[in-house]
Structure formats: structure tokens, C-alpha cells
A = this chain, B = another copy of it.
Amino acid sequence: MKKLRFAVLASGRGSNLQAILDACKAGTIHGEVVVVLSDHKDAFALERARRANIPAFWVNPADFSDKAQFEEGLLRIIAEFNVDYIILAGFMRIFSPTFIHGAQVPILNIHPSLLPAFAGLHAQRQAVEYGVRYSGCTVHFLDEGVDTGPIIMQAVVPVYQDDTEDSLAERILREEHRIYPKVLQLLAEGRVSCQGRKVIIAGEEERQ
């Protein structure tokens, strides 16, 4: 069976990238990260890629005349690597529909809330300020909305009444590192399909 090929886009330290790299190396994902791109020169995600001998590209938005050109720049590089999926792992930009259609492969994103609650920026802060008792994270397919795409997997964490944005973010992050690799392995096993906006995981029995 052919290994899946992933492009990972990250703006920051790349801890989700690392979780994915580790799972690929351990064989718990039958796939490999073949290219990493960032919009930030100093993103530690790029350094993690280099340490794993994976091509790493800083794509500088300032080098492009507009967002559309920048997105085309990303896609031009990705196109060289013949990937099966584009994985957003803390990539802090909102893509245009042009990018989504131009990508020609599905794009996955992870968001630090139980969507549809707390879409957009600062999801953990939104959750703490709202006063919810539970939050979590969501892996979903990217669609043209902001954090609105079909949900593949979610994980729940409690929110404690003395939580800060940071303490909640840390608790959620541990779940992100757990479920993002799990989703990529489901894709590698060919078990993920869409029925309208509902995502079906083959072999996932109802458990009561």
C-alpha cells in the first residue's frame, strides 16, 4: 500500500507538525510529510522539518503583490511534491476559495474548540470568557467558510473555573496532538468519506 504524502503548513512552533512527524516515523501513520511551508521565516516548524530532512520553505507574503499571488506561490511549491492532502497545523491565514479549489487535494485543519462554537481567532480565550464547562478541538476539512467545514474528529476537555487562556490552550493542545495523527491514519486506511457535510468513518461502530 502506497504511503500517503502530506504537505504541512504551519505559522508557529509546529507542535502538531511534530506529533505528525513522530507518528509517521513510528509507523502509526502510514504516510509521510514530504514538504513543510510557513509564512513566517522564523517558524520553528521549518526547523523541525529541516531536522527531519524534509524540504522546508518560507514563503514570504511580502514577496507577492496580493493574497491571490501568495496563495498561488504556495500552491506552485506544493504541486512539485505530488501530495495527497494539505494539512494546516497552526497556519494563521484564511485562504480564499481560489486556494481551496486550486489545491486539487483535500485540505485539513485543526481548530482549538468544539466547533461550531468559538470559530475564528483566539478560540481558547473565547471559551474562557464565555464561561463554558467543556471545550476541545476539531479536525475538519477546509471549506470556503471560516472553520465551518465537515468535521472528521473532535476531542473534549473540561474547562476549569480558574482556567486562563493559556492553561486551557495547553490542555486542548494535548488532545490536538492525539487526534490529528489519528485522523491522518484514518485517511491512510481509506476509511474517511463525506455524505453531504457529514463525515463517515468506515468501521466506526455505534458504541452505547
Contacts and interface: CB of A to CB of B under 8 A. Distances in A.
Interface of A: 114-118, 129-134, 136, 150-151, 153-154, 156, 158, 160-163, 197-201, 204, 206-207
A147 to B, nearest CB: 12
A206 B130 contact: no
Nearest 7 CB-CB pairings of A with B = A133-B154, A131-B198, A160-B206, A117-B117, A131-B151, A116-B117, A162-B206
A134 B131 contact: no
Contacts of A153: 133
Contacts of A162: 206
Contacts of A114: 114, 117, 132, 134
5 contacts: A114-B114, A116-B130, A117-B117, A130-B151, A131-B199
A163 B198 CA distance: 12
